[in-house]
Amino acid sequence: MRILHTMIRVTDLDKAIDFYTNIFGMKLLRKNDFPEGKFTLAFVGYGDEKTNAVIELTHNWDTHSYELGNAFGHIAIAVADAYKACADISAKGGNVVRPAGPMKHGGSVIAFVKDPDGYMIELIQTS
């Protein structure tokens, strides 16, 4: 068994794809429209779906907003240098909501970025 993907609902698919590909350097792996169901699925990630977990961006054509709720936490991405990643993300127009720095009650260097729909992405420094 392995994790295949995590699905999040997005209100503006083009904006979400742009965020994950241009801000985080993921690739758009595939995109499929389902006219009968009035939705589009786009899969983004760092590698082939056969060997990597990816993010499924679901765009329901007739839905223009969502409540994020309080159960979902965040998506975590490993980075070599969280400080540089935050600078790069900010320079590209990304929303760094918690700058890089040591984790409270721990030693890991982390940061948080908010995507266009309000989902949180944690950056965890691996070096």
User: What is the set of active-site residues?
Assistant: 122
Determine which helix (DSSP H) or strand (DSSP E) holds 87, and give its type and residue range: helix 82-91
Return the SS3 of 109: strand
Amino acid (one-letter) located at 40: T
DSSP 91-106: HTT-EEEEEEEEPTTS
Q: Regarding beta strands 109-114 and 120-125, do their DSSP bridges make them parallel or antiparallel, or are they unpaired?
A: antiparallel
* Residues 94, 14: Cα–Cα separation, whole Å: 15
